[in-house]
Each structure stands twice: as C-alpha cells, then as structure tokens.
Amino acid sequence: MGRPYRVNVPTRVHHLNCATMRTPLAGRSSLVPSHLVAHCLLVETADRLVLVDTAFGTADLASPAKRLGRPFLIATGPTFDPAETAVAQVRGLGHRPEDVTDIVVTHLDLDHAGGIGDFPGARVHVLASELAAARARKSQGEKGRYRPVQWEHGPSWVEHDTAEEDWFGFAAAPVWPGSDDLVLVPLIGHTRGHVGVGVRRPGGGWFLHAGDAYFSHGEKLDPPQCPGGLKVFQSMVQMDKAARLANQDRLRSLHAEHGAPGPDGRPEITMFCAHDHVEYDALADVTD
C-alpha cells in the first residue's frame, strides 16, 4: 500500500499497558504466563489522537463485579490499577481525554472495549459484524464477553463492512477514506468480527496489533509454541475454529516473510497481540 496522497500520517505511536491480569495459576504453573497485559496504542497524527483498544474503563474499576461479572474476575485476576487506565495514560502524556478523536477496537470483548466510555466524544471504529454480534449476544459465551453497560453512553459508532484493499496479501479496510496509514485487517475466529489493526510507523514500516488472534509470542513461530493454558482458553472462547487457526497460519507466514529486521534494524512489520507481556515489554519505550 503506498498511495501518493495520504492524510493523518502517524507522527508518534505510544505503546500502553492498560491492564495487568494474573490468572489463578500465574507463577505456579508453566501452563500460563506470569501475567497478561492489555496492549493498547495511542497514535498521534497532525490532527487526530487515536486509541487502538482501551482495556478497562474507570467505571469498570469502580464496579467490577457489576460491569464485568464475577466469573471473568476470578478467571483473569485483574489488578485494577487506576494509573493503567487509558484515560489516565492519555492525561499522563499531556493530552486531555476530549483530545481523543477516534478509537479503533480489535473487537468488543469486555477487556478491550471497557474504556470507550471514558472518551464519550470519540468515534469508535469497529467491523460491522462485530458490532452486530455484540448487540445480538446470541450465544451464552457472547452474553459473558460482551457487556452492553460498557457502551450505554451511546458511542458514535463507525461501522466498517468492506475490506477491499490489499495489505501484504490480507484484505484490509482503511479507517479513513483517502488514507492508508491506519487499516483494519479482518482476522475472524476469536470473535465474529475480530480485526487486527495496521498502523504505519512514523520511522518506517508497520505495526500490526493482532488483538486476540493469538495470545503468545511463540505462536508467531513455526512450529508454534503456546502455554497449554492459553491454548485451551483460545479454544474455549473461539467463535470459528477453522477461521481462527487459518488466520494464525497466515500471521505466521506474514511474520516469517516481513518480521525480520531489515538494514535499518527494524522489521517491515512488527506484529504483536493484545495480552503477551514479552511483546509489550519489547515495545514499551518505542514511539516510532
């Protein structure tokens, strides 16, 4: 992708951990990592401030059992540190919450979309099929994973339902017409409308936030490696097994072909998922 005319070119990309979670087996078993993170992005452009995912919001921290449900709390063990919320980190970087013009969600699971209520003026970009699934909550699992209370403020939804651009062999939909610097990359399987988010790096190359398309950095390798507990969890919550596994295969190929450092020391595509702390730690201080 390389149109001569582009708008909203990222000038800085901040990596944020907007939640820390420790499962009941954390630190006591090799089946799960020591902790999970909620890897979000704050993308600065000349005229916009964009969040990619939000993790939990301040209202979730105030009433966790009511808004998130006790089964989720028991299974994931969130620490609920107010300083980790997206809104606190946006302020910490010198911005006001109302400066956030757009939020792009990989999907609407409760640990990805809870913070959208802290930015009520932002447009929320989502794949149309994901928003439809979140509203319908057809299955028992979807009743637990989607929490309408998190968007009861009535967000300004921007539904994307076409993905006709070619992004490294993947179908993609630009977030803004006329710009290919921020794109939605459908990666269906974990949910019915799950996407990855491609962000052009200010210094060259791309970030690909793969959301929950995979859970462990070892899953980018061939053969893939993943702690057993995370492997079981992914199978338990998947909405389309065949699509999820096929997309993981495609992501492995993408990483193999474009993930090695180039002459300037950076890969063409830097891929990471939402919850792997190893990937987050490697990027926490990277802004270009």
Mean pLDDT of 104-133: 98
State pLDDT tens for residues 225-237: 999 999 999 999 9
Q: Exposure pattern of 185-214 as b/e (b: 16+ CB <10 Å)?
A: bbbbbbbbbbbbbbbbbbeebbbbbbbbbb
Q: Helices H, strands E: what count in the chain?
A: 10, 12
- DSSP strand E in the chain: where? 12-21, 36-44, 49-52, 102-104, 123-127, 156-160, 165-167, 170-174, 182-186, 195-200, 206-209, 269-272
pLDDT at residue 95, as a whole number: 97
Helix/strand/coil percent split, the chain, to 5: 35, 25, 45
Whole-structure pTM over 0.85, yes or no? yes
What does the pLDDT look like over 70-103, one tens digit per residue?
A: 999 999 999 999 999 999 999 999 999 999 999 9
Contact between 44 and 13 (Cβ < 8 Å): yes
* Per CATH, domain 12-283 is 3.40.50.300: no
Report whether 49 contacts 42 (CB < 8 A): yes
Omega before 202 within 30 of 0, i.e. cis: no
Residue 3, pLDDT > 60, answer: no
Q: Measured between alpha carbons, how far is residue 274 from residues 96, 125, 130, 262 in Å? A: 24, 17, 17, 25
Segment among 31-40, 56-65, 194-203, 260-269 with least mean pLDDT: 260-269
Q: Delimit the domains of the chain by residue range.
A: 12-283
CB 15 within 8 A of CB 252: no
pLDDT-based confidence at 163, cuts 50/70/90? confident
Within 10 angstroms of residue 176's Cβ, the number of other Cβ atoms is 18
The pLDDT confidence band at residue 2, using thresholds 50, 70 and 90, is very low
